[in-house]
Structure 1
């Protein structure tokens, strides 16, 4: 990581003819790409390190094409010789999803959605005409094979985990019918592929697009379905309908012939379903197979999103076995199985979480049942080895950034969450009174403090359970002072 940072500094200083630039490591997302914020003379830029050079070249090629038509994508300021590091325009830290969560469903946010859809239409229809689809990372188009792949993703990683008996051949036949229906007489243009509110940045009241390197040729409906039906956005139905109509009007102004609105909406509903099922498959894979707590907690709202669709939407095609499977997926029985138990107001359970130093020994538990979990954080890279962190603790931002971005702490904590979840769920059901969880590291200063704080937040948010938090080394120091 340090070598990459030094290369970013060198590229930035050469590009902007300055010296002494600062580089901040940004949190890692789900991919292997790493992002950094570069500061020089009061200005900021985004640097990307991507080990997949072809992916980088795809992003750069698409960006250059879009900027010819004034599509709101970032300017590329510099690319290194290996094409594994490039420096971009910085659109800030606020996404459309952030604005929605902050302002809710007001006119300002509604206008941002309209701006997003207007620019999307221009990107797809106008700028997309000159795209070199040979640069696509996977398939050149979102056709039958790609649609079937998304459907099978849902089948293997979500539906099959429910152990629900269904007619496999009948379901595959329905998959074939749906893919034929969605690819018949489709006017294809550039498809963003992941057009969600978290990939739309807001700066000075304007929208800007990022993360379109997975794009390919496909139906217009897919991207607008992705935006309007994003589970986390939870857009009201009147917004979904009005914004879809607005998008169709924008596209009609750009195409040679007007869209057959009825046929367009029917196929749009089909692509909404494809997108919802692809998301369910992703949450199933990340949550049920990789055991990542964030994705597990995302399954209930995704089920509710799918339930509304199943109950209220028609696609103009009969898919009896798929419909039967979907109605089971959105049943109260399945939803309840994924919803976390929440502590009652008078629940007796108290989870006692602490950090400690192994030099001083493992804390004892004087409660009646005693025991609990002890997690050893010493396998995580120690911030205390670095001079700039020696006098800080796991509650200071530089240390937290280091642990989150340059160590295995996120993976470690995901495993802890999965283990502790089992006991907390059981203890709440059985009205147990106490559970103790301790985190130890060498000095009780950095790793164990961070981990204990993180678990306390997690359990409060997920279970609403009472938590007592104590840092044996740090709290003792504060008392002495």
Structure 2
């Protein structure tokens, strides 16, 4: 059965009726695929993941946390293969959405406070009775796990810079830092990826998702993950105040006196580890897997690290490591990853067209002429199916079909790699025009979708003025 059919069958089995529609949600860094199931006013989230162990861990952890009264979704059911499960839809708005839409206002600050208060409960109350044998990697974020994060950073980011360094001296510093942080006295459940996109906001309350990678570990790591998230760009004032709030929440829940100076000093070390782990992840997803959204996040992460390197001390001598960090956060290195962007004086206008090969190529009346022509006819055509014939690439059902049942996303990633080279060159040289064309048989489905996605990519990445035209619109099947 097709994946959508399998999801609908599971929904029907659990709720005794068919869904009215199922929409694929945008995919993030993981291999899990999420869908929102609609049934009148009710919605449910379906997750598809071939990693059965990860699914089983998430569901068992969720059951445990739910029994402790912690803010996690309800799991409704799982299929026999343990690759699809249905869970409560907590909503569409994450904490990062609230921050980006409302800015750093008192309302958003209160949501961060609520998140940290809930985190302290999640860590301390959730730790009691949790079966850590279910952890996906290490049972504890100890020396080996810390070294793994540092080596992840080394291989997937540091070594790509091709900067000379004393490898053995750096490994010795890694070892010393791991031993220092292993001595943390505040080990409870560690979320591991506690960032604002994993916090859902619903009616002023916060809920947590994606904690299946958790393990026993230092509380401060999760606080560092949230407060130092590169995309959030929280001010130092907010970070300091929220950390103080978090310490207060944790102190109330712990059954023993807490040394605040020790707590804060260890927190600084985990800030550094988290910043480096994130750079390793961005390097892997961006530099190796060529995913644009991660490439554009690297400069933000580097500037985050730069501020930390220039303003924080962790109380341990790491000479080669410190030397390398200063190189990494230099303006020269950061500029390597910063994408040139248009402003109000930029002359470049990009024209993105869809067309039908039966009707001929779009004309180009610009001074320099030329540009790109991409053939979409190698992608499965939605127009072959009756339910899509009267729709176009502007319609959601067609978009879902192309994203879920074809290689369109792989095709477009390759397109973006090619056109970005020319766009950046044209921006630097002050060119005025660039034309990008997508053709298919009828100029209605595949080429239209590809043109719209490309226009969005260029607007988001380069802030360019982009004109999207669909030359065969008048001939679309009605």
TM bucket (normalised to shorter chain) is over 0.9
| Contiguous gaps of at least 5 residues in structure 1 | none
Report deviation, 1:445.
0.8
In the alignment, what sits opposite 1:125?
Answer: 124
Report deviation, 1:264.
1.2
Higher mean Cα deviation, 427-436 or 68-77? 427-436
1:48 aligns with 2:52: no
In the alignment, what sits opposite 1:200?
Answer: 199
In the alignment, what sits opposite 1:290?
Answer: 289
The answer as to whether partners of 1:9 and 1:21 remain within 8 angstroms in 2 is: no
Task: Summarize the alignment of residues 99-178 of structure 1 with structure 2, pairs less than 5 Å apart.
Answer: 99-178=98-177
Higher mean Cα deviation, 447-456 or 56-65? 447-456
In the alignment, what sits opposite 1:225?
Answer: 224
Q: 1:433 to 1:90 in 2, by over 3 A?
A: closer
Please report the RMSD computed on the Cα atoms of aligned residues, expressed in angstroms: 2.1
In the alignment, what sits opposite 2:233?
Answer: 234
In the alignment, what sits opposite 1:82?
Answer: 81
Higher mean Cα deviation, 249-258 or 66-75? 249-258
The answer as to whether partners of 2:181 and 2:270 remain within 8 angstroms in 1 is: yes
**Deviation per CA, 1:135-183, whole angstroms, max 9, x where unpaired?**
1111111111111111111111111111211111111111111101100
Report deviation, 1:432.
3.1
Report deviation, 1:50.
2.0
The answer as to whether partners of 1:34 and 1:50 remain within 8 angstroms in 2 is: yes
The answer as to whether partners of 1:27 and 1:405 remain within 8 angstroms in 2 is: no
Report deviation, 1:13.
2.4
1:275, 1:202 → 2: CA distance?
Answer: 24
Q: TM-score, normalised by structure 2?
A: 0.94
In the alignment, what sits opposite 1:473?
Answer: 472
In the alignment, what sits opposite 2:69?
Answer: 70
1:348, 1:108 → 2: CA distance?
Answer: 40
In the alignment, what sits opposite 2:388?
Answer: 389
In the alignment, what sits opposite 1:212?
Answer: 211
| Contiguous gaps of at least 5 residues in structure 2 | none
Q: 1:291 to 1:39 in 2, by over 3 A?
A: closer
1:272 aligns with 2:241: no
**Deviation per CA, 1:29-66, whole angstroms, max 9, x where unpaired?**
33332222223353222122221111111011101110
Report deviation, 1:367.
4.4
**Deviation per CA, 1:378-432, whole angstroms, max 9, x where unpaired?**
2222221222221111122222233234332222222211111111222222233
Q: 1:82 to 1:401 in 2, by over 3 A?
A: closer
In the alignment, what sits opposite 2:24?
Answer: 25
1:20, 1:337 → 2: CA distance?
Answer: 48
Report deviation, 1:295.
1.1
SS in structure 2 at match of 1:208: strand
Q: 1:30 to 1:147 in 2, by over 3 A?
A: same
Q: 1:82 to 1:291 in 2, by over 3 A?
A: closer
In the alignment, what sits opposite 2:339?
Answer: 340
Task: Summarize the alignment of residues 181-200 of structure 1 with structure 2, pairs less than 5 Å apart.
Answer: 181-200=180-199
Q: 1:459 to 1:40 in 2, by over 3 A?
A: closer
Report deviation, 1:449.
1.2
Q: TM-score, normalised by structure 1?
A: 0.94
Aligned residues: 478
The answer as to whether partners of 1:25 and 1:36 remain within 8 angstroms in 2 is: yes
1:418, 1:69 → 2: CA distance?
Answer: 47
Q: 1:151 to 1:20 in 2, by over 3 A?
A: closer
Q: 1:240 to 1:343 in 2, by over 3 A?
A: closer
**Deviation per CA, 1:414-463, whole angstroms, max 9, x where unpaired?**
22111111112222222334332211112111111121122223223333
Higher mean Cα deviation, 154-163 or 174-183? 154-163
Task: Summarize the alignment of residues 320-399 of structure 1 with structure 2, pairs less than 5 Å apart.
Answer: 320-343=319-342, 345-399=344-398
The answer as to whether partners of 2:56 and 2:82 remain within 8 angstroms in 1 is: yes
In the alignment, what sits opposite 1:426?
Answer: 425
